[in-house]
Amino acid sequence: MDIEISLVAEPLFQIGPVTFTNSMLTSILVGLALVIGSLVLYRRWSLVPGRFQGVVEMGMRFIYTLCVGTAGEKVGRRIFPLVGTFFIFILMANWGGLLPGYGVLTIRNFEGHEVPLLRPANSDLNTTVAMALISIATVQMLSISVRGVFGYIKEFFEPISFMSVILFPVHLIGEVSHVISLSVRLFGNIFAGETLTIVMYVLIPLVVPTMFLGLEMLFGFIQAMIFTVLSIGYIALATAKHD
């Protein structure tokens, strides 16, 4: 069995100037599954939770407590919907990439190449960079909201001195490095896990279902938690008031 592993997402078709890739298709499918699942869960929500509802409530309560405990009551309540969405989307995208069909079902794309129809969303750097940009943009907007425009700018030059002006690019680079840290860490771990799973499936088919898929589920959860916790931490640092 031939294995062709691509670092970038494979194109499926083109709509005008936009190239639609297999990771974009997966992202849309995960999003639709979450929307439909949320609507079904909302219609069946009960004051006396069942087993599944209890697990969902426990997970959301944990994320909410993490937001409020780290960023404070006011900011924590504001960022909870965004941070909760990050966690659920990343987790479901990571676990969804372990389902049968990923990397196996192929289609002939508009360039005439045989490419996988589905690719895990977070194994595409474009997806992780997009989420990281949303996270860091939220950090900047909340910082301005809490401290005001002048207070936000002052952070880059405090204390006011000649050295602070020189170090301004360092502070700016630090903000940019947050985007790189969030996106590359998630992309690298998910892509490496996908590659390892495919290779081990070919070499030792019976081991993957019992060991590697279980490990990948654990790693997928850990990566979702890391992205979420780092986003909360960056927001908490940016919105903290200094004496």
- Specify if 4 maps to a domain: no
Across the chain, which has 243 residues, the per-10-residue mean pLDDT values are: 70 85 91 91 80 86 92 90 93 86 78 83 91 92 84 65 56 80 90 76 64 81 93 87 50
* Predicted local confidence at residue 210, as pLDDT: 64
* Contacts of residue 145, Cβ cutoff 8 Å, sequence gap at least 6: 239
Is residue 137 one of the residues assigned to a domain?
A: yes
The total number of structural domains that make up the chain: 1
**Is the residue at 184 inside a domain?**
yes
Look at residue 5 and tell me if it is in a domain: no
Please give the pLDDT value at position 41: 85
pTM: 0.85
3 assigned to some structural domain: no
* Cβ pair 146, 239 in contact under 8 A: yes
Show contacts of 129-134: CB within 8 Å, 24+ apart: 129/179, 129/183, 131/86, 131/89, 131/90, 131/182, 131/183, 131/186, 131/227, 132/178, 132/179, 132/180, 132/181, 132/182, 132/183, 133/179, 134/82
Structural domain that includes position 150: 11-239
Whether 6 is covered by a domain: the verdict is no
Provide the token pair at 126.
């474009």
The three-class DSSP label of residue 13 is strand
pLDDT given at position 158:
59
Is 1 domain-assigned? no
Q: What's the pLDDT at 90?
A: 94
